[in-house]
Amino acid sequence: ETGVTQTPRHLVMGMTNKKSLKCEQHLGHNAMYWYKQSAKKPLELMFVYNFKEQTENNSVPSRFSPECPNSSHLFLHLHTLQPEDSALYLCASSQDSTRDRGNEQFFGPGTRLTVL
């Protein structure tokens, strides 16, 4: 619907597991984002990529590892997560913008992650 797809839509994993979240955008955008959305909390930006280069890393624990092989694909590799990492993980993309303009972001449906 929005041109941004995410897989899987739901994921349950143990604390010792390793898994990856995938995001793909079909909009020709060159900036991609990972957000975390927990219950009763605002959207928390985790990582930003522009033209495959990571431009922001908002003090995210190293158990989250992003990968952006090209402008259309974004991954979030997960390992040794904690139960408090359970949340909705949203991917978004936007078109290139000049500094301070902040073009609108298009979100994927999210991955609902549960860490046991």
Partner 1 sequence: GQQVMQIPQYQHVQEGEDFTTYCNSSTTLSNIQWYKQRPGGHPVFLIQLVKSGEVKKQKRLTFQFGEAKKNSSLHITATQTTDVGTYFCAGPVRDSNYQLIWGAGTKLIIKP
Binding site for partner 1 (CB under 8 A): 2, 31, 33, 41-43, 45, 48, 50, 55-56, 90, 94, 97, 99-110
Hey, what are 86's tokens? 């359970």
In the numeric block, the tokens 């899987």 are attached to 8
- Closest approach, Cβ 55 to partner 1, in A, equals 6
User: In degrees rounded to 5, what are phi and psi of residue 94?
Assistant: -150, 165
- Closest approach, Cβ 56 to partner 1, in A, equals 6
| Minimum CB distance to partner 1 smaller for 14 or for 56 | 56
Cα separation, 81 vs 108, in Å, equals 22
Most distant CA pair in the chain, distance: 42
| Minimum CB distance to partner 1 smaller for 75 or for 107 | 107
| Minimum CB distance to partner 1 smaller for 16 or for 59 | 59
| Minimum CB distance to partner 1 smaller for 16 or for 102 | 102
- Closest approach, Cβ 81 to partner 1, in A, equals 21
Amino acid letter for position 47: F
Which helix (H) or strand (E) element contains residue 114? strand 111-115
